[in-house]
Structure 1
């Protein structure tokens, strides 16, 4: 059974409030884990793509009771115990990948065949603790604290983690909606870079560092006004797909450096 997941709004600043809980934002793939009343397991991405066959180790758990739908994040951890997005994508794309996955659950949407989406969040957390009694390497519950968003965010910055999620304690699960009851605060990294060109057919700025090392393509957060800056720059040469220009400086924010040294999801700061 697929239930369209509740999505998060952004907040630029973490905050402290006794009305909220704070969770670590895990850098992975959103996954819905469904067990029907006959005990058949189905796994879905947030876009309703069934991916059951990709993760036989989750299907074989046999610990989730019939009539359950769980919401969580599929991750792979690196040697430091931190989520590794490139690794989880490798595992997602091929069962032959050697990476071991973990499913970290943060909500329950169906329990014993009954919908729980109208129950306050903290009550759903209690039900989740009954379903996942013992955390293991492959299946665990997302840990949370009450309030303390600012301090928690500082810890994520110190550990170079993705960020935090702030959720209202009494929030219902709003199916398929992006809700202000759940807020994500991303631990962005920042860099001064050069724009060295742009893509011809679909918008994208070519980025490099000051030594000329390519940093990837920026597609996000560039207004029509800002785009003109690139189009009006002096053209140096062009290829089939790109126009190369006289470089100009800009500041970007991004999630992290990839293993290839590129910026992940860069946008204008």
Structure 2
């Protein structure tokens, strides 16, 4: 295959649930990867249809018992000292472009490919098969190794799995209809539920040219809030902000940090910055 296969994407749901029509999986905190095997040739594609074959040499000999196939999964880095998945580490690997750096990255930050689906086997398109059948097929052709892992599935019990995810401080869970076919677009047959981190932050300013509030936490800047802010909340903020302006520069207007917002995010970056923060409410 010379063109990238199109990935099936997730819809969002707020609360975990139990349902015998679904299987539930831990959500792996890495980046999406589709692997295409054709004889001895392997090509790797992101969900944005960018080829990244040369970035991950450790995945070039997959443990697959087939002459050709297409599999889908998530590429991640697991810290060997903690057993925790480290999103920033796999992003560091992803940014490596030159071969000497990639070779060094293989030794320092070896990746694992967490596989959860199969689209094609030996020329047979299996995307219309129900998920349960595709899972059986994947299990029959794939062996686990240091770099290739199967994603665990739990039958029907999303609430219990989500509790475990919270205890282990992992990203979240995915719910998939057992009878779902594989479609190359976003579908509500696959749902994601995120294990958010919550925090209260002070708003210390706002962008001039596009929406975004500068956030402070414990007196230091931690990023910009720009997601999930309702229009009436924006208007209320600007009405108050005009009276507490303390300065400006080319890009920002700065205000006294008197307004508190509750936000949720994927987690804190190691730098102390917020990862994809979303507005929840003002705190009075």
TM-score by length of 2: 0.89
Match of 2:7 in 1: 5
Cα deviation, 1:108-146, whole Å, max 9, x if unaligned, reads 00111111100010110011111213x222001111110
Partner of 2:233: 226
CA distance in structure 1 between the aligned counterparts of 2:187 and 2:37, rounded to whole angstroms: 26
Structure-1 residue corresponding to 2:178: 169
Match runs of 1:94-243 below 5 Å: 94=96, 95=102, 96-97=104-105, 98-133=108-143, 135-175=144-184, 177-209=185-217, 211-232=218-239, 233=241, 234-243=244-253
User: Which residue, 61, 86, 89 being the options, matches 1:87?
Assistant: 89
Alpha-carbon distance, 1:231 to partner: 3.4
Q: TM-score, normalised by structure 1?
A: 0.94
Per-residue Cα deviation, 1:35-72 (whole angstroms, up to 9, x for no partner): 12x43211000000000111111113464633200000
Instruction: Quote the residue 1:32 is aligned against.
Output: 34
Q: How many residues align?
A: 265
Question: What root-mean-square deviation, in Å, do the aligned CA atoms of Structure 1 and Structure 2 show?
Answer: 1.5
Return closer, same or farther for 1:127/1:62 CA change in 2, 3 Å cut-off. Answer: closer
Match of 1:59 in 2: 60
Contact 1:237 1:245 in 2 (8 A): yes
